Amino acid sequence: MKAIGYTKSLPITDIASLTDIELPQPIATERDLLIKIRAIAVNPADYKVRLNMPPAEGEYKVIGWDAVGEVVATGEDATHFNPGDIIYYAGDITRQGCNAEYQLVDERLVGSKPKSLSDAEAAALPLTAITAWEILFEHLAIKQQGADSKETSEEVILVVGAAGGVGSILVQLAKAITGATVIATASRSSSAAWVKKLGADHVVDHSKPLQAQIEALGIGSVTHVASLNSTDSYFETYTELLAPFGKIAMIDDPQALDITKLKMKSLSLHWEFMFARSMFNAADMDEQGRLLNRVSDLIDQGYVQTTLGKNLGTINAKNLRAAHQALETGSSIGKIVLQGF
């Protein structure tokens, strides 16, 4: 099968950082599904792994954790899906990724692809949808409600880095199935327009002091923070903005945080890593499949839209290098996808 991989951790400007290769097609056993890949998306996790996790000497590493594909075979213990089913998923960071024609994935990590979306549109969603869902409902414990509910709550969530992949789906989920007021941050006019389109109630500029901007909104204290980048730069501001017993959830990797600043307001800090369930074979791995199906339903009912930003074309090394470079420079809005081999 065709695949794209690397043998050394190299800068993306090096043509050898990602190369086109041929690998044996894998075989499904136990609870695995064998998926024929139709479309993929690229995430910061991809370039972080590429730069920091070289394969063993003489081996190729294949990355990628966002895919839409067709089930072509199932392991002997798999019961959730059948050959011919079209699914979407992020998968397991400890296994071969989706930058290949075929991939094995545990059926518990898989959801049915939204019927109303194209393959490319759906590929933009799994990793960020799982991350956003776990932030909102498992870490921050925002109250869920029905998508048709008009009820509002006293919850106020600040989403820092709202125009990125995770922020783009988190804002939508918060508006679709919670009563929280959503404050999104964006520093460019294009980013501000994007997050407003996705449903943010207010937009503030994270390149300027946040506290004065948020106080000027006159909506009361922030109760929850989804910190999707630069947590170390904003951490002290969060502790000042948050109401007592407020919650912060982050996904980035700050070098150091002074957590003593959390004590006076009894604030809590949560560190989201969506691969935790698959990496440690958690007892509730099925939760990822269930939440992906829930997101799929919300999309098909018209409450959530794809976060696709740009389609770079065929799945090959050249286009993947371009995708990684765009993510590494922070120049993308929404998700970058590739489609077909």
Question: What is the rounded distance in angstroms from the CA atom of residue 19 to the CA atom of residue 286?
Answer: 34
**Predicted TM-score (pTM) above 0.85:** yes
- What are residue 135's phi and psi, to 5 degrees? -60, -50
Residue given tokens 């921050």 in the structure block: 140
What pLDDT score was predicted for residue 331? 65
Report the relative pairing of strands 222-227 and 156-160 from DSSP bridges: parallel
What per-residue confidence (pLDDT) applies to 148? 84
Q: Tell me what pLDDT residue 212 has.
A: 93
**Mean pLDDT, to the nearest integer, of 82-109?**
97
How do residues 265-291 score in pLDDT, each as one tens digit?
999 999 999 999 999 999 999 999 999
* Number of CB atoms found within 10 A of residue 132's CB: 30
- Position 224 confidence tier, pLDDT thresholds 50, 70, 90: very high
The DSSP bridge partners found for residue 22 are 2
d(CA 182, CA 165): 16
Question: Which carries the bigger pLDDT value, residue 286 or residue 329?
Answer: 286
pLDDT of residue 307: 86
Tell me the average pLDDT across 97-107: 98
Question: What would the pLDDT profile of 40-76 be if each residue is shown by its tens digit?
Answer: 999 989 999 999 999 999 899 999 999 999 999 999 9
Exposure string for 44-53, b = 16+ CB within 10 A, e = fewer? bbbbebbeee
